[in-house]
Chain A
Amino acid sequence: MARVDINMQVRSVNGSIAVVSLDGEIDVYTSPKVKDFIGKLIDKGTYTFAIDLQNVRYIDSTGLGVLIGGLKRVREHGGAVTLVSTNPQTRKIFDITGLIKVFDIYDSVDDAVNALK
């Protein structure tokens, strides 16, 4: 069967904003890995995230759940999350679920980072 996995990378901007780049598919199998990755960053005191979904080929409700959970956690510390996606299917899912009103979604990482400054 096709290998389903997710690659995750993080870099810091100005020492306070974490740019998390996700590459792959986010489903019931991979979403726990994303949750763990973001959760550990929050545990270490990072509360401001730009999450780059441009290379995410597939995301379902479990992936949305991870993003919502992360947003709730950082908001408790006055933090914020912005997203990057130009994928029409990804944007459609955020639109259908109403999460387009919860997350600010940008076309580029630079725009998503600038919105957090």
Chain B
Amino acid sequence: MMQAREVGAEAPEIEVRIPSRPEWVALARLSVATVAARMHFNVDEIADLKLAVAEACTNAIQHARESDEIVITCRIYSNGLQICVRDFGIGTEAERIRSRDLGEPRVGGLGVYLIRALMDEVEYSVEAESGTVLMMFKKLGDSAR
């Protein structure tokens, strides 16, 4: 369970829906960056959020078969930003949500590792019939609250 966000707090939502295609991932990360800047995350934290949401969208595009759309939902809490990235692929493979070991360098497999490293909390929910939701939370620094 996500513990960091303030339970019961009113959380404004911003939702962005993009086609599940590479050329639209930039829109997802720029949208999240705009929300994060509005919340006064610092430059480094915004860069982390952009990368994490882009990795989640890339993962969805590469692994979620028969999914035409990705839905990115930002929920603004007083102590941080929750981002949900939902795809509607079927037959989701367990491999896609596994964080890789950092041993011999190889192509691919780094995205989930980066998401887990950059965000404060990460949860995957995989449903065979309805797709995958990646929920992540980034705490807002004390100076911005």
A→B interface (CB under 8 Å): 1-2, 4, 25, 27-29, 58, 60-62, 64-66, 68-69, 71-72, 88-89, 93, 96-99, 102
Contact = CB atoms under 8 A, between A and B. Distances in A.
Nearest to B61: A28
17 contacts: A1-B27, A1-B30, A27-B26, A27-B54, A28-B22, A28-B58, A28-B61, A60-B54, A61-B108, A61-B109, A61-B110, A72-B107, A97-B102, A97-B114, A98-B102, A99-B105, A102-B105
Nearest to B111: A61
Contacts, number: 70
Given A61-B58, A96-B117, A27 B22 contact: yes
B44 A61 contact: no
Contacts of A28: 22, 25, 54, 57-58, 61-62
Contacts of A68: 105-107
A96 B114 contact: yes
B51 A69 contact: no
A1 B26 contact: yes
